[in-house]
């Protein structure tokens, strides 16, 4: 065992990155569930989720898959910032907020009806409202005591 190996004794966690990844996984599951329920509710209220370019309809399961994928991307970004940034929480919030803002553009460009556009924007914001605070909080508790 190397004497330079991080034991995590200062943070109270076995390993700060593993702890962050666990919180990220839990937040990913919560965000996926929240957006799936919201998409199903929107569909029940009459939102068709039809994208005229190609004539495709976004299935509720597709919302779950995309939310899960991009939430995991957010966790990877958070882990990278914890590892390589002196201010991981602040940088994560700025990065995640910027990426969320960019993600709001495509629904307006897809040519969908206003109800679909509003629902897609709302789904992006629901996922962000779950993921960003959870990961930022985890980064604050781990980043402050990771020995930087």
Q: Point out the residues of the chain with pLDDT beneath 50.
A: 1-13, 147-148
Q: What is the pLDDT of residue 142?
A: 86
Q: What is the pLDDT of residue 135?
A: 98
| Contacting residues for 91 by C-beta, under 8 A, at least 6 apart | 81, 85
Q: What is the pLDDT of residue 144?
A: 59
Q: What is the pLDDT of residue 97?
A: 98
What does residue 3 show for φ and ψ, rounded to 5 degrees? -75, -10
Q: What is the pLDDT of residue 12?
A: 47
Domain ranges in the chain? 20-143
């Amino acid at each position: 065992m190397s004497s330079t190996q991080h034991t995590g004794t200062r943070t109270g966690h076995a390993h700060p990155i593993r702890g962050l990844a666990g919180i990220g996984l839990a937040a990913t599951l919560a965000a996926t569930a929240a957006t799936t329920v919201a998409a199903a509710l929107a569909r029940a209220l009459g939102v068709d989720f039809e994208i005229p370019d190609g004539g495709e309809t976004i299935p509720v399961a597709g919302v779950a898959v995309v939310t899960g994928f991009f939430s995991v991307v957010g966790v990877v970004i958070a882990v990278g910032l914890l590892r390589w940034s002196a201010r991981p929480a602040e940088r994560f919030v700025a990065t995640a907020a910027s990426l969320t803002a960019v993600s709001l553009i495509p629904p307006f460009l897809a040519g969908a009806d206003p109800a679909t556009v509003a629902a897609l924007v709302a789904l992006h914001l629901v996922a962000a409202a779950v993921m960003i605070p959870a990961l930022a909080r985890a980064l604050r508790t781990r980043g402050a005591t990771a020995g930087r």
